[in-house]
Structure 1
Amino acid sequence: MYRLTANDAKRNFGELLLSAQREPVIISKNSKDTVVVMSMKDFEEIEAMKRDYLKHCFEYAKKDLDSGATVDGETFLNSL
């Protein structure tokens, strides 16, 4: 993954945009990784994966509710 400092990203914004089309770019500030810049295509794919995962979780939870495989909140907290 390509890395830039915040100052380099500011000075070379065009390069940042071109690089982000190929792969995500990590931008650091004060020696800490701060943000990732990525292509819209990559972002949309990640968002689609998150939606699919949430849909799967809701379907799994609905099956548990329909089959009665649930516990009340107090029992759950006590089991922790």
Structure 2
Amino acid sequence: MHTLTANDAKRNFGELLLNAQREPVIISKNSKNTVVVMSMKDFEELEAMKLDYLKHCFESAKKDLDSGATVDGDAFISSL
């Protein structure tokens, strides 16, 4: 993944957009990675994966509730 400073990204915004179409680009400010610029296609795929994972988590939790495979919250906190 390519990294640009915020100033370089500002000066070369058109190039940033072109590069982000090929792969995500990290933008750093004050020597810290701050944001990632990515193509709309990559963003939509990431959002779809997150949604699929959330659906899986909810389905798994529903199965646990239906089968009675639950843990008492107080007991769980105490075990930590």
Q: Report % sequence identity.
A: 86
Which residue is equivalent to 1:28? 28
1:76 deviation in Å? 1.1
Q: For 2:7, what is the secondary structure of its paired residue?
A: helix
The 4+ residue runs of structure 1 with deviation greater than 4 A are: none
TM-score by length of 1: 0.97
CA RMSD across the alignment: 0.6
TM-score by length of 2: 0.97
Tell me the number of residue pairs that the alignment of Structure 1 and Structure 2 aligns. 80
Q: Which runs of 5+ in 1 are unaligned?
A: none
Q: Which runs of 5+ in 2 are unaligned?
A: none
1:2 deviation in Å? 1.1
**1:1-80 maps to which residues of 2 (within 5 A)?**
1-80=1-80
